[in-house]
Amino acid sequence: MLNQNQTPLIAALKACAAKPHAPFYTPGHKRGEGIGQPLADLLGKAVFGADLTELSNLDNLFAPQGAILQAQQLAAQAFGAKQTWFLVNGSTCGIEAAILATCNTGDKIILPRNVHSSAIAGLILSGAVPIFLNPEYDAVLDIAHSITPQAVQAALQQHPDAKAVLVVYPTYYGVCGDIQAIAQITHEYHIPLLVDEAHGAHFAFHPNLPTPALAAGADLTVQSIHKTLGAMTQASMLHLQGNRINCDRVNKALQLVQSTSPSYILLASLDAARQQMAMQGKQLMCRTLELAELARTKISRIPGLSVVDKPQQPTPGFIALDRTRLTVTVSGLGLTGFAAEEILDAELGVTPEFASLQHLTLIISLGNTTADIENLIQGLTTLAQINLPPVAKTKSIFWDNIFKLGNSVQISPREAFFTPTETLPLEQTRDRICAEIVCPYPPGIPVLMPGELITKAAIKYLQHIQATGGFITGCEDLRLSSLKVLASPSSLSQN
């Protein structure tokens, strides 16, 4: 057993930062001496002394033999993996690398339609062909949950040549599907289960949290340590177990999608977050769960508000809930989630993680305090008392109408990405093939992607999101008056 109380990467960085020397290496600010005054005033100069490059004592992220290797080995033990890689380009690069490590051009991969946009980027980079599965959908709450084991089984029976299955666990709303059953089904076909566990890095540290993906049988999982634990933004980890995925191919894939100038401050924050959770994780998660339950109880008592909870009869797409994730339904106040978020943030000093048509979603983590919860309850109480003209409740037009028609991918995302395009007014793009990623963000779930047929329902939904206060990202025209589509033969001939 390794000594989880040590922080080898932080120790090495501290020693290098304290060593007197004349720096003739990158970065150009030379240990803070060249930093502009406004940034120095914001952060102080001390932090820049640790903003170092790959010096001999600091190891190499792509071929670690010293401090980084030791820190990753400690993380693997703490999170229950055979091998762990530190990521400085966020979970985005981890998801991309997972697909690159398991799929060649033309290979099929089974994944939910409500994947993060990073998975679409992975499809473009790898040339893999998506076999999309619709997640289980709650029409009352207008929330998509997980894909079901039955759906995975049916897809593998139809596509036994698939090279991998990818699932989102938990969803942005904290909902967890039956990942253990999905892992068992996937392994019957001798292929790996990949997990986007970006929002579940804390699961390994308390028995009252959902089962971690690795413990449930996943072969590879990617976690945003910065989202729910104590690392800095953009700091994530990729964990691997078993022998279904080639470690060397993971290494090569990460070299394609990670920076060759990694931030040692981000890497050190991963070392610190791991040590903190290994030594104090259960205690910290006990406190976090207590705060979350306090908030859940008090919010449920505010007239017009309710909190999404695990159903009394679990469904295949919803068997567990991360109770540190609160999704508050505000539509009972006659408000959209977008309007509620704006009021809370601008006027009441409370900033949620994100808003959707009916809900606000809040992340409660080890960094929150009792005072935070009190401010949240006071803000929501005030919100419920504001006398605003009610907004007419609209029926969801998303999962019911957009994706129930089945797989709308006409060509692979990679092929579409490299095909000539043209830009058309939005009303002229129906039944054309999309050439860009279009998604409301957060949570970054694409409504349209390269290679996918643009439907009337998709256009209507995107317009509805904009009209109710949401915003669209990924596309060139953020006003959504036009979209890029694959060029028609006639437009090519004119060029």
pLDDT digits (tens, 9 = 90+) for 144-157: 899 999 999 999 99
Sign of CA dihedral 389, 392, 397, 398: positive
Residue 17: is its pLDDT beyond 50? yes
CA-based max dimension of the chain: 68
Q: How far is CA 74 from its chain centroid?
A: 24
Q: Return the axis-axis angle of helices 179-188 and 149-158, rounded to nearest 10°.
A: 20
Judge if 210 and 329 occupy the same domain. Answer: no
Q: Is the confidence at residue 344, as pLDDT, over 90?
A: yes
| Domain span including residue 304 | 282-385
pLDDT at 291: 98
- Residue ending a domain, among 243, 278, 313, is 278
**Average pLDDT, rounded, for the chain:** 92
Task: Give the residues across from 221 on adjacent strands.
Answer: 195, 239
CB 316 within 8 A of CB 167: no
For residues 323-348, give the mean pLDDT. 95
Whether 147 and 54 share a structural domain: yes
% the chain with pLDDT above 90: 81
User: Of 220, 249, 278, which residue is a domain's last?
Assistant: 278
CB 240 within 8 A of CB 87: no
Would you state the pLDDT for residue 424? 96
CATH number, domain containing residue 53: 3.40.640.10
Token pair of 194 as six digits: 């990949």
235 within a domain of the structure (yes/no): yes
Residues 268 and 290 in one domain: no
Residue 267 burial by Cβ neighbours in a 10 Å radius (0-12, 13-18, 19+): buried
Pairing label, strands 129-133, 108-112: parallel
Tell me: do 310 and 424 sit in the same domain: no
Amino acid 396: pLDDT: 52
CA distance 121 to 271: 28
Between CA 187 and CA 180 the distance in angstroms is: 11
Cβ contacts of 249-254, under 8 Å, gap ≥ 24:
249/100, 249/101, 249/102, 250/85, 250/97, 250/98, 250/101, 250/220, 251/62, 251/85, 252/101, 253/96, 253/97, 253/98, 253/100, 253/101, 254/62, 254/85, 254/87, 254/93, 254/94, 254/97
- Gap between the Cα atoms of 182 and 187, Å rounded: 9
The residue-averaged pLDDT of 482-492 equals 83
Residue 202 lies in a domain: yes
* Closest listed residue to residue 261, CA positions, set 81, 51, 105: 51
CATH classification at residue 334:
3.90.1150.10
Domain stops at, among 234, 253, 278: 278
Coil/strand/helix, residue 487? coil
When pLDDT is averaged across residues 82-91 and rounded to a whole number, the result is: 98
pLDDT of residue 264: 97
19 residue type, one letter: K
Q: What span, in angstroms and rounded, lies between the C-alpha atoms of 297 and 392?
A: 28
Asked whether residue 130 falls in the same domain as residue 263, the answer is: yes
Helix (H), strand (E) at residue 41: helix 37-43
How confident is the model over 119-143, as a mean pLDDT? 92
**98 and 223 share one domain:** yes
Residue 208 in contact with residue 292, Cβ under 8 Å? no
> Between 117-126 and 90-102, two packed helices, what is the crossing angle to 10 degrees?
40
Q: What is the pLDDT of residues 269-316, one digit of tens each?
A: 999 999 999 999 999 999 999 999 999 999 999 999 999 999 989 999
**Within a domain: residue 403?**
no
User: Which residues fall within 8 angstroms of residue 355, CB to CB, at 6 or more apart?
Assistant: 336, 337, 338, 340, 341, 361, 469, 470
Q: Could you tell me if 287 and 274 lie in one domain?
A: no
* CATH code of the domain in which 425 resides: 3.90.100.10
The average pLDDT across 184-199 equals: 98
Examine the pLDDT at 403 and tell me if it is beyond 60.
no
Same domain, 324 and 272: no
Number of domains in the chain: 3
Cα distance between residue 164 and residue 194, in whole Å: 7
Note whether 246 and 290 are same-domain residues. Answer: no
Q: Which helix (H) or strand (E) holds 30?
A: none
Q: Nearest Cα to 230, choosing from 198, 197, 272, 268?
A: 272
Q: At 329, phi and psi to the nearest 5? A: -85, 120
The answer to whether residues 148 and 256 belong to one domain is yes
> Is residue 133 within 8 Å of 459, Cβ to Cβ?
no
Q: Is the pLDDT of residue 380 over 70?
A: yes
Q: Identify whether the C-beta of residue 199 lies closer than 8 Å to the C-beta of residue 325.
A: yes
* Owner of token pair 């007419």: 392
Q: What angle do CA 133, 137, 141 make, to 5 degrees?
A: 155
Q: Are strands 472-473 and 439-440 parallel, antiparallel or unpaired?
A: antiparallel
pLDDT of 83 > 80? The answer is: yes
Residue 294: beta bridge partners?
none
In a domain, 459, yes or no: yes
Answer whether residue 153 is part of any domain: yes
Within a domain: residue 306? yes
Which two three-digit tokens encode residue 43? 């952060």
Confidence band, pLDDT 50/70/90 cuts, at residue 465: confident
**Strand arrangement of the beta sheet that strand 220-223 belongs to:** 83-87, 236-240, 220-223, 193-196, 164-168, 108-112, 129-133
pLDDT tens-digit map of 93-130 = 999 999 999 999 999 999 998 899 899 999 999 999 99
Take residue 453 and report the two structure tokens written for it: 């047929």
> Which residue's entry shows tokens 């380009």?
89
Q: Is residue 408 part of a domain?
A: no
Per-residue pLDDT at 451 exceeds 70: yes
Question: Could you tell me if 297 and 273 lie in one domain?
Answer: no
Number of other CB atoms surrounding residue 115 within 10 Å? 23
What gap in Å lies between CA 441 and CA 414, rounded to an integer? Answer: 22
Q: Nearest CA to 361 among 206, 238, 227?
A: 227
**pLDDT at res. 495:** 54
- Mark out the alpha helices in 386-472 (DSSP H runs): 413-417, 456-467
Q: What band does 405 get if pLDDT is binned at 50, 70 and 90?
A: very low
Predicted confidence (pLDDT) per residue in 209-236, tens digit: 999 999 999 999 999 999 999 999 999 9
Flag whether 25 is in a domain: yes
Two tokens at 322? 């991360």
Clarify whether residues 308 and 356 are in a common domain: yes
